Amino acid sequence: MALMIIPISTVFAESEYDINIPSGSADKNAPFHWASEKDGSTSGFIEIIVGDTIYWKNADTVSHTVTSGNPQSGPDGFFDSGMIESGKFFMKTFDDVGEFEYYCTIHPWRTGLVSVVSGFSVLSNVGIDAGDGMTLFDVEYKFNRLVNEASVIEESKSILLKLKGNTINEDNTLTLLLPTELISGINSVSIDGKKTEKFSQDFVDNIVSLEIKEIPPKTKTITITGTTIVPEFAEIALMILIISVMGIVFLSKKQTMQKMFQHY
């Protein structure tokens, strides 16, 4: 797996996220017990950046807690909301990288996880849908929405990004760190199928830092097109395979002819 991470000095704006405690979530058999406004997730999981703040808001008719730890080991002492009454909230700012479990001590089947990362979020295994599926990359990004998926389109030498969730601040610039072995020679960017000129790129070692500006809040897809894309490496491998097979066939025929001459 090709993993390329470079240190970048960037100042990030702190963001705030809401996780709602929905009505009826005290019922163990409720359809869901959390509702994240960041990406619509109902699992209780959320990924944030150091310095970000989460508001857990109680929209239920009964009280709940948001307590760090898990039902098996109990509270770990990192944070504890105490009783959050109906219509109230609990807020917590996360200043350290890590993964922090939490649950409700009153209704312990209600569990969640806060993942705090250093700055850029990561899209893993980009390239798995291209070529032989064996040449994979981790792509880092910074945006005010969730980049849910990255697919390689071999025919157009493009990467298709799918966006999800609501904006969490007014910074509508998407920054991507793209390994040049994944895509290079970026010549166009499209937002929901329409080309935009509002992008720029810089190069640091084998990484393209691509900035796409003024992305509308309801954008669903972004397409990045280059002159080379990772499947081309698979095409070379295929050519080598074909040449190897031809060589084996040639040698086989040659050995057959030699046996025939020896027989006579």
Lowest mean pLDDT among 6-20, 56-70, 178-192: 6-20
- Cα angle value 147/152/154 (rounded, 5°): 160
Residues 6+ apart with CB under 8 A from 51: 12, 14, 93, 94, 95
The neighbouring-strand residues paired with 227 are none
Give the tens place of pLDDT for each residue, 177-220: 999 999 999 999 999 999 999 999 999 889 999 999 999 999 99
What's the CA gap between 159 and 84, in Å, rounded? 44
Percent of the chain with pLDDT over 70: 82
pLDDT of 255 reads 59
Band of pLDDT at residue 242, cut at 50, 70 and 90: low
Q: Which DSSP category does 50 fall into?
A: T
What's the CA gap between 34 and 52, in Å, rounded? 19
Q: For the whole model, what pTM was predicted? A: 0.53
Question: Per-residue pLDDT for 254 more than 70?
Answer: no
What's the CA gap between 88 and 232, in Å, rounded? 55
Task: Give CA separation, 85 vs 54, 71, 93, 183, in Å.
Answer: 17, 21, 20, 51
Q: Which two tokens stand for residue 153?
A: 């389109």
Query: Which residue shows structure tokens 């904006």?
Result: 167
What's the CA gap between 35 and 57, in Å, rounded? 10
What's the CA gap between 174 and 180, in Å, rounded? 18
Strand-strand pairing, 98-103 and 111-117: antiparallel
Residues 6+ apart with CB under 8 A from 93: 14, 51, 52, 53
Q: What is the mean pLDDT of the chain?
A: 86
The neighbouring-strand residues paired with 92 are 54
Kindly state the helix (H) or strand (E) to which residue 209 belongs, with its residue range.
strand 207-212
Lowest mean pLDDT among 97-106, 128-137, 146-155, 176-185: 128-137
Q: Which domains, from first to last, does the chain contain?
A: 16-117 (2.60.40.420), 121-231 (2.60.220)
Lowest mean pLDDT among 102-116, 120-134, 153-167, 206-220: 120-134
Q: What's the full length of the chain, in residues?
A: 264
Alpha helices in the chain (DSSP H): 231-263
